[in-house]
Structure 1
Amino acid sequence: MYTWEAIQEALDRIEQELPRGIKTEWLAEQVSLSPFYFQKLFKRLVHKSVQEYIKLRRLSRVIEELNQEDRTITEIAYDYHFSSPANFTRVFKETYSITPEEYRKKRPRLNTMIKPDIALTYKDLDENIPILIDDLLLEIRRETLETEETYLGFSTLVDTAKQIPMGESTGIDIPGQCWTRFHQEKSKLKTVINPDFEMGMSYGADPVKGTFHYFTGALYPMPQEISEPYVIQSLPPGNYIVCRIEAENFETLVCEGLDKAASYLLNTWLPSRSLEIEPFSAEKYNLAETEDISMELWVKLKEPTMN
């Protein structure tokens, strides 16, 4: 067994045991590693300590429970191995900056820890050949965009450090909130947009401030002068690498599929081929496509410089 396979097995066991207490030493024993090397490898591959990861995954599962109105917060706290409702509230607020009661009342989108797929890091996807990994179907291809695509919607500023998987923190899912805002306003734009085609874009990163901009909107076939709060964002012509992602349901697609595909494409696939990209990425949704639950992640290749 490769060491990464041992950690993947540990991640699988954690999912099974989330409602119960999970000791690091027990996990190490289950995958035949010493506690010392198990913790070292876990931190290197998952980028979290064992117990921090367990806490964040447990809270992710708890959020699903909070969306069920028939469960009390006290019941949920004890069901997921918190020592008391007060302890549960403290940990939840430390992680997401709101209490469980506030979450249940307002239902904001939260930036939660998903279960990583370490195996994906060690796979080399050939172009134009789909591969099934867990519950996701991925396929990478090259695409040339001949003419600019223009979209109309909203833009917001995001703190990079507070957005998993780019950062190491959790909290309110700012890009998710931007999508919520757009979908609340979308009907007001129906006379000027093509509602079947939507795009989210990360762009305008500022490494000094540790921020980037995130845009959500729909295709804007005949651009014209606009007024605030709406903004226009364009996908420029050029050569792209496109990762198509399919999932069994939309929640898995946007909550897990996008993060896993982006991490693999940006951190593994592109570097292994020495391909450089422009400083933005776009996620495109074709809502007219009814056969599959899918989306596409687009990154633009840098044009070779002329000496």
Structure 2
Amino acid sequence: MEHYTRIQYAITFIEEQLQEALSLEAIAARAGFSLYHFQRLFHAITGFTVQEYIRKRRLSRAAEELRVNSHTVLDISVSYQYGSQEAFTRAFAGYFGMAPAQYRKQQPPLALQLPIDLVALTANIRGGLTMYKPDIMERPATRIIGYNYPTNLNNERYFEEIPGFYAHFGSHEYYMRIPNKARPAFAYGIPHSYREDGAFSFLIGEEVTSFAEVEDGFACLELPGGKYAAFRNGSMPELGQNAWKYIYGTWLPNSNYERGEGPDFEVTDVLNSTPEKISMTIYIPIR
């Protein structure tokens, strides 16, 4: 449960700094994770991206202040890191459905985002936890050439978009433009290059014997060798697209492993996959 404890450290830090400038690097450092790992783990455990949680907590705290004190809307806007009263009013109305001045006057009940308490969450998990066992294996360093697709953690956009990326990659025969192929029957999907706003790239490609010059939109990426947990989709049939959430939100925090360095990735066995049943394995670096 150490992962939950460390994410709770980050949540406490966020609560203490809601009226200060916050960077994801500083929050991740408080939890003792790399920025990449922290964003994936926070999202899987809480259901929010870090920036989404911060925004909702700031607006909820601002709503509480509007109700109980006489500070001006401008003062509250600035104190919660909004650059102007107009920007704060747009964000407040977008979240709560009314302007700050209207809320202060009428004070209807609002669905505020409360601070997350992972103590209660972990108690619920322990009460009825199903653990799917991965294969633990050593993998050599692997060179990949593929095509990069931009997507985002926010609003779980990547869940909707990634299947379309695979379809686009196949229909445009991008696999034919990869040089030096080593295992052409296996398609790699690799999320990487996470940014503070939740944006990241999803590379779809194939293993190669050596890197080469690539066309626009394509990139070279090396997966580090080392120990990996391998989750085969046949061992988690009912999870489907929620497999990543299960791995980061349930298995990893309850395992005896820490996440290792480098990106996680998925490998599809193209020859043994059908539209009805995809043969895929998800690999997570561990130590």
Quickly name the TM-score band, shorter chain normalised.
0.3 to 0.5
Q: TM-score, normalised by structure 2?
A: 0.47
Q: Tell which has more relative contact order, 1 or 2 (C-alpha 8 A, sep 6+).
A: 2
Q: TM-score, normalised by structure 1?
A: 0.45
Indicate the structure with greater strand content: 1
